[in-house]
Each structure stands twice: as C-alpha cells, then as structure tokens.
Structure 1
C-alpha cells in the first residue's frame, strides 16, 4: 500500500464524494415514495444484477466468496447493509447538508479505528489535516460567518449518521485485510460482487423487517425507477469500485479525507438546483479541505 497521491488516485477518490453527495440529495427527494430500508434493498439488488455478467466467475464452487464467507458477509453487512440503510433512514429526519456534514467526521473515525483496532500510529500531519478539513466543512455550513454555527440544530437522523460513519470506518479498514494477491481480487467486479451478494441478503432482511414492523408503502412509478437506477449505478457500483481501489492504494485514513468534499459538493448541488451561484466562502472551504488532504498525505520526515 503506497500513501503517495498520484493524479490517477486523486481521480479515483474524487468520484465517490461527488456520487455520494448526489445520493444524499436524491435520497432526500424520494422519502415520500419509498421506505429507506426498502430503497437500500432495491438499490443493491439492481447493483447485483448489473455486476453478475462482469463478476460471475467468483460465484463458482471453491471461490474465496464461499470458503471465506464470514469475511465477505461482514463486509456486506458493514458497507452495504448497515451503512447505506442508516444513511437513507437518516434522510427522513435530516437534510442532505447535515447528513454529509456528519460524514465529514469519517477521517477522524478512520484515525481512531486504525489506532485502536489495527495499531496504526496517528501522525501530527493527519491531526492538522483533520482540523483543516473540518474547518472547510464548517465554512460551508456557516456561509463564511462562523457565528452562524451556533444556530445549527441536529436531529435524530444526524445521530444515525454518526453511527453510520463509524461503521464505514470499520468497513474501510476491513477492506485492507483482504490480501492484495487473493484470487477474488483479480477482478474488481468479482470482489465487489462478493460483498454485494451478502450485502443484498442483509438488506433484504432489513427491508422485510421494515415491512413487517411499519406501515410504510412504495409509490411505484418512473420517478422511483429512475432513482433506483441512478443510486444503483452511480453511488453503488461506480463509487464503491473507486473507493475500494483508492483505499487499496493509499489506505483508509488518507482516503477518508476525500469524504470531506462531500458536504461541499452537496451544498453546490443544492445551490445549482436553486439557480444560485457559488460564493467566495465555497472557494475558501475548498482550499481548506484540499489543504487538509495534502497535509495528511505527507509522509513523516525521517
């Protein structure tokens, strides 16, 4: 695992926050059409069908997917079943901006999980980088007026996202425990398919509980169909592929700093939908977040 940021790696790690910010906006827009856990199941069921033609070889008898099923069942539970379910559930009481704001704490959780569970030392540059990146997020939320931060209100959905971000940090570190020379890693689609196979099963179980314990219903139509297609292709398959590749290249801690771009992108998407133009504080936030990424990626001097 190389912690140097190359242009290709930067491109890989920029794609997920763009798609995940879009996912938050879209997920909020369809809360009246589909229950959150059902939406998550539909998303991953479609993603599973999309990946089958590309990665079906990993489903053959004797594959690591079956021989090491506890590992892939855990990855599916954390990254597919729990994290995304909690995010869609959070969007029923929280805004896309707040949800992506809480996601900005992911680098902090990456550092904590890496130190506590994997014995990875925390470098001073990573701490400074975390502070800078979070300052960039705060700049977006406050519109450049830091005193406005005291007027922010948090709701139950925000607390669900705190749990979700911790789960995502654990999931990302678990990705690094899959050996780079494992046969299942020979093809990205197969590796992702193995996770989604178990994750879709977990999501289906959660959706079944949702239908049995609540009175939510689905409003079928073209809007829901387009939504499911988008969240399955973009935030699911493409974003997870890029995230997994990026984590393998630079590790979960450095990759986590790119998540701090998500609230900035979500804010810009909201501005675009309202027909407004970006403001100077968006440029300041961008520079702070990028500064945090650069500082966190610098290696400790010998």
Structure 2
C-alpha cells in the first residue's frame, strides 16, 4: 500500500493530538469526581448516542457489520475499551504532562508492533525521525533545561500509560488491515459506530468490575457534565474520525510521529490555563517534532 503525506493528511493527524491534549487535562481535572473506567464508559456511551442517528443502518442484518463482528470487537476492545480507560487510570496518580511523556514512546511501539506482528521492516529514516521527535518532546518536558529531565519520576499511572500505548499501537495497525463492506468503509460514522458498539460493551463490563471492587462515588456537577460532553465529542468522535482517515492515508508508522505533538499541545494548553506565555523552547521543540515527522515520511 502506498502512503502519502498531503496537507489534508497533516491536518487529519494534527487535530487529534490537540484534542487528546485537552482530554488529558480534563481527565486529570475530574479524576476525583468519578472512577476512571466509568468515565471511559460514559464517554463512549454518549459518543454512541451521537453516532447512532448518523449511521444507525449499520446494525441492519444485511449491512455487513455482523459478518466481521470479531474484527470490530477487537478494534473496540483495543481502541475504546482499553486505551482511554488505561489513560484515565494513569491520570489518577500521574500528571497530564507525565502521561503524555510516556505516550511519546508511541513511534517506538508502533514500529515494534509493525515489525513483530505484521512483518513491516523498520527503516533508518524511521529511527532517525523517532530520535528527533522524542528529543522535541523531552525538550518541552524539561522546560528548556535538561536538568529537569532527571527530576522526572515514573509512578504506577505511567505503567498504565505504557499498556495503553501498546494497545493503541495494535489498534492503529489493525485499522489498516481491517476488512469490511465498501459501504461501511466509505461511511466514517458507520465504521466508527461499528467499533463503538462493541467498545461500549467492553467498557461497560470493565466499569461494572471497577464498581464491584469498590470505586469512589460519583460527584455530579455542571463541571463534570461539561467534561463528559467535551471528551465524548472532541477526543472521541472527532479525533477518532480524523485519526482513522489520517492513518489510512499516511500509514501507522508515520501517524505515530504526530502523536508526539500531544505533549507539546499539553504544555501549551497548560500554559494557557496558567496564564503563562509560550517560551522559545516551545518553538524549538515544535521544529524537532515536525522534523522527525518529515524525516520519517520521506521516501
């Protein structure tokens, strides 16, 4: 399959990291208002309700979804049932910036997943691009001073984020290997709803297990309601739509480098909420991350 990095593809792969940066911040803000796995379940339940009017016919017996139900069940498990549940669990004990630091290893996991499970060779350009891109991420996290890197400490939440990153790598590769009727592939809402339908079942089961183990009670408020709306519409429906289209156009390995924009956006959003102006190292980091993307995508 031939992949190209066009301006449209760049936009499709850049918007999700911006929305996911907001997702990390919101997830941290509400971490003491409701359990993390329940947050994931409610998020995708709302997304399911949004998508249902757009692609309800996908559930018809002749739509073809049921013929490939195992495929959609696996995509729903990895991308919906596991990834964000693990991320919200990570945010219980880790900060958004630390979570996005761990997620910055996505290019490495993506390359390893492609090599181990799908027989995709790793090129020197991809390795060089990974080094440049991760250097940009570390520069942001170090706030322009490398001594701050030594002060970072991994906690239990960071281990959850490692598992989440591996799950997302598998999900992204499976997106490019997915087989489904042309009608579903041509309709982004139908393709996403087919995954969300199974993902809601997975996340609902996980939430029930969390509740049985003694989860914290939900503290309902307008802040929590607004947070649920945001994570359901932005990082869920819009981001998954753009990510799916972008990965299919550029390939999982190239798409993984765009994930490294998430820590940069997280730092910028955090600065905005704190009233701090961006610094010179933000520009340098952006150049390194974009440079890694360009190097990895060159033929």
TM-score (norm 2): 0.98
Q: Mean alpha-carbon deviation: is it higher for 136-145 or for 235-244?
A: 136-145
Question: Which residue does 2:249 correspond to in 1?
Answer: 249
Question: Which residue does 1:235 correspond to in 2?
Answer: 235
Determine the C-alpha separation between the residues in 1 that align with 2:84 and 2:32: 18
Determine the C-alpha separation between the residues in 2 that align with 1:292 and 1:181: 35
User: What is the correspondence of 1:146-165 to structure 2 with a 5 Å cutoff?
Assistant: 146-165=146-165
Are 1:34 and 1:219, in contact at CA under 8 Å, matched by a contact in 2?
yes
Determine the C-alpha separation between the residues in 1 that align with 2:124 and 2:155: 33
Determine the C-alpha separation between the residues in 2 that align with 1:227 and 1:6: 33
Question: Which residue does 2:77 correspond to in 1?
Answer: 77
Question: Which residue does 1:208 correspond to in 2?
Answer: 208
Q: Mean alpha-carbon deviation: is it higher for 44-53 or for 175-184?
A: 175-184
Determine the C-alpha separation between the residues in 2 that align with 1:131 and 1:286: 14
Are 1:34 and 1:218, in contact at CA under 8 Å, matched by a contact in 2?
yes
Question: Which residue does 1:171 correspond to in 2?
Answer: 171
Deviation, structure 1 residue 181: 6.1
Determine the C-alpha separation between the residues in 1 that align with 2:81 and 2:266: 23
The one-character-per-residue Cα deviations of 1:183-227 (angstroms, maximum 9, x if unpaired) are 321200000000000000101001111111114110112111111
Question: Which residue does 1:137 correspond to in 2?
Answer: 137
Deviation, structure 1 residue 65: 1.9
The one-character-per-residue Cα deviations of 1:98-130 (angstroms, maximum 9, x if unpaired) are 111111111111100001111111111100000
Question: Which residue does 1:110 correspond to in 2?
Answer: 110
Question: Which residue does 1:223 correspond to in 2?
Answer: 223
Are 2:13 and 2:255, in contact at CA under 8 Å, matched by a contact in 1?
yes
Aligned residues: 299
Determine the C-alpha separation between the residues in 2 that align with 1:34 and 1:2: 44
Deviation, structure 1 residue 150: 1.1
TM-score (norm 1): 0.97
Three-state SS of the structure 2 residue aligned to 1:68 is helix
Are 2:13 and 2:242, in contact at CA under 8 Å, matched by a contact in 1?
yes
Are 1:175 and 1:244, in contact at CA under 8 Å, matched by a contact in 2?
yes
The one-character-per-residue Cα deviations of 1:14-60 (angstroms, maximum 9, x if unpaired) are 11000000000000000111110010000000000000011111110
Q: Mean alpha-carbon deviation: is it higher for 137-146 or for 11-20?
A: 137-146
Are 1:3 and 1:254, in contact at CA under 8 Å, matched by a contact in 2?
no
Deviation, structure 1 residue 154: 1.0
Determine the C-alpha separation between the residues in 1 that align with 2:264 and 2:59: 39
The one-character-per-residue Cα deviations of 1:238-264 (angstroms, maximum 9, x if unpaired) are 000000000110111100100000001
What is the RMSD computed on CA atoms of the aligned residues? Answer: 1.1
User: What is the correspondence of 1:1-150 to structure 2 with a 5 Å cutoff?
Assistant: 1-150=1-150
Determine the C-alpha separation between the residues in 1 that align with 2:283 and 2:218: 40
CA, structure 1 residues 147+86, in 2 after alignment: closer, same or farther (shift >3 Å)? same
Are 2:64 and 2:180, in contact at CA under 8 Å, matched by a contact in 1?
no
Are 2:136 and 2:287, in contact at CA under 8 Å, matched by a contact in 1?
yes
Deviation, structure 1 residue 182: 3.5
Three-state SS of the structure 2 residue aligned to 1:140 is helix
CA, structure 1 residues 280+180, in 2 after alignment: closer, same or farther (shift >3 Å)? farther
Structure 2: unaligned runs, 5 residues or longer: none
